[in-house]
Amino acid sequence: MHEFFGPGGLLEQRLPDYEFRPSQVRMAEAVYRALEQQNHVIIEAGTGTGKTLAYLLPALIHGRRLLVSTGTKTLQDQIFYKDIPLLESVVGRTIRAAYLKGRNNYLCRIKLEAIQTDGLFSPKELRTFQSIMDWSRETETGDRAELGSIGDDSDLWSRLDARRDRCLGTKCKDYDRCFLTLMRQKAMEADIVVVNHHLFFADLSIRKSEVASILPDYSAVIFDEAHELEDIATDYFGFHVSNYRLAEFIHDAAKLEEDVATVSRASERFFNGFVLLRDGRYPVQNLDGIDGLIGALQDARNSIRKKKDSSGEFEPLARRAAELAEELDVFHSGTPENYVSWIERRGRGIFLEACPIDVSGMLREHLFSRVPTCVLTSATLTVGDSFEYIRGRIGFGNGKELSLSTEFDVRKQALLYVPRQMPDYRHPSYLDRAAAEIRSILRASRGRAFVLFTSYRQMETLYELIGRDLPYPCMLQGKGGGKSRLLEEFRITPNAVLFATASFWQGVDVKGEALSAVIIDKLPFQVPSDPLVAARAAHIQREGGNAFAHYQVPSAVLRLKQGFGRLIRSTTDRGILAVLDCRLSTKAYGKFFIASLPDYKITDRIEDLVQFMSEPN
């Protein structure tokens, strides 16, 4: 170990200008021991620890193929295009690495040919399609990201991508040339395979079925941004049926000249029963017409299976009919034990959802007991200096733990502002007071801020109150393009202010003066009436626990830590953190939130913010 991690070791020799921190060495040693002993370890590594190099190097030294699974494609890019080349300079040789994304990121050659033959495009789509055709003749990966903004037309791309629903697998005439086949072959030859959590769990969820797995076999997996595991596992072990999914099946069947008129009529009758619902989530009660829809899908499956399938196109269609019928039966027969179900209306979409209340047993069975080594790491895993909450939520039983504080000087780089005598967020005076506080904070920071909200309604209301009058360029999530485009505009616009919600609380990295304040409207407790949150709280109460203390508070603490983590991303970053919620100072659990955060200086005086931001770095 000394050869690689100690003073004068290989790291120092290869990168003399790179300052390896003690925390990096401790983390690297913990990862190496887990790989060597074939056990698990969970590591909280504060921002600035340099955790990517700290887990990649021992993984490479150990020599077994492993997966690195991340929470975002942004981090995937960083690891593959920046960190692995850096590691190559450390070890002095080329590293065999592969980068895999979800199937819907890759072009399907068969679909491209079929759509070209159909020729049904709007004028705008035709221009985009021609660009995709030109690109398809040159690309080696088929990865949508290579298209840049051209690939942003999600409606057109969804008709071209390689998602499993319409995949012909080995029966496809282009199987050997398929971009998925080529990428998987690269992965099978690699030492390190970089994926994201969604792809990992999509693969994990089908490994218990007869469908071919997406990823090559592996003996170790490193989960970066591991705080997301419960939410993503919940989604992938759940059941999801929507009117959109039925419409896609009916459309694809019609293209094969398969008569599914009975399914179409049954689907229309069933989903028309929800047209009067407003946007929101509702409990599952009597589902009129579900028997007819299930029966029609079963008949369609049997009919499709009788077709001569020399093309290989009918087999996946029959599989889709069977899966739709099986998942609908979950809602018809009653939610399975340990699941909660609901109906959700979003615009024109009707979604039937059933998700596990507790994924700890599933992860214990399908992940931690099957994979010899799992390394879990993130900047936000502890609550009150303890891993107990996250370990319990994800079933992480037998395994070591290590907590490494941030390498940044947070007392010099950040100032936490909690306004005095702030009204309760439910009080009629809250909005006006919050608006006044946001204006004052932005004056101190000269804009350059994320203003983060726990709900879209609150975001839009406060944007309307102050966003148009502020002397800074203001941006609103949902206006002006998707997340990546909005984030890039924020980075290049001087003194910008972004009003945003949950998707900007994590996985967003803005270094430098462009982001000098993070303002949070209130403590990020989950909505207690949400069906999944309510079911989890009730489960904890039945087990003799306190749902508020053991679930809702710890969950909110981790979310707050994630939101605050947007601010300080390098040793030269500095700025203001603010929470406009009186509960942080008036409730007993407020002290628990503070104790779980890094050691920030705290003030309730706006004058201190002005002075802090006027001081030189």
pLDDT level of residue 536 (50, 70, 90 thresholds): very high
Average pLDDT, the chain: 89
Which is nearest to 80 in space by CA: 192, 168, 233? 192
The pLDDT of residue 617 is 67
Distance CA 76, CA 100 (A): 9
Question: What top-level class would CATH report for the domain 239-356?
Answer: mainly alpha
The pLDDT of residue 395 is 97
Residue 475 near residue 499, CB atoms below 8 Å: yes
The pLDDT of residue 242 is 95
pLDDT level of residue 506 (50, 70, 90 thresholds): confident
pLDDT level of residue 309 (50, 70, 90 thresholds): low
Mean pLDDT over 520-524 rounds to: 96
Asked: is 2-96+190-236+359-404 a CATH 3.40.309.10 domain? The reply is no
pLDDT level of residue 210 (50, 70, 90 thresholds): very low
pLDDT level of residue 12 (50, 70, 90 thresholds): low
The pLDDT of residue 344 is 95
Mean pLDDT over 494-505 rounds to: 91
* Cβ neighbourhood burial of 580 (10 Å; 0-12, 13-18, 19+): buried
Tell me if residue 239 falls in helix, strand or coil.
strand
Give the whole-number percent of the chain exceeding pLDDT 70: 93
pLDDT in tens, 438-458: 999 999 999 999 999 999 999
Distance CA 589, CA 551 (A): 13
The pLDDT of residue 271 is 96
| Strand order through the sheet with 280-283 | 239-242, 349-356, 339-346, 280-283
What residues contact 317, with CB distance under 8 A and at least 6 apart?
249, 252, 253, 256, 258, 304
DSSP conformation class of 143: B
Which residue has better confidence, 91 or 319?
319
The pLDDT of residue 561 is 94
* Domain range 410-614, CATH architecture: 3-Layer(aba) Sandwich (3.40)
What residues contact 370, with CB distance under 8 A and at least 6 apart?
none
Mean pLDDT over 381-393 rounds to: 96
The pLDDT of residue 308 is 73
The pLDDT of residue 164 is 74
pLDDT level of residue 258 (50, 70, 90 thresholds): confident
The pLDDT of residue 203 is 84
Mean pLDDT over 231-236 rounds to: 94
- pTM for the predicted model, two decimal places: 0.90
pLDDT level of residue 380 (50, 70, 90 thresholds): very high
Mean pLDDT over 449-468 rounds to: 93
pLDDT level of residue 4 (50, 70, 90 thresholds): low
Least confident of 112-126, 358-372, 424-438, 449-463: 112-126
- pLDDT above 50 for 20: yes
Distance CA 380, CA 561 (A): 6
Q: Where exactly does CATH 3.40.50.300 map onto the chain? A: 2-96+190-236+359-404, 410-614
pLDDT level of residue 212 (50, 70, 90 thresholds): low
- pLDDT above 80 for 389: yes
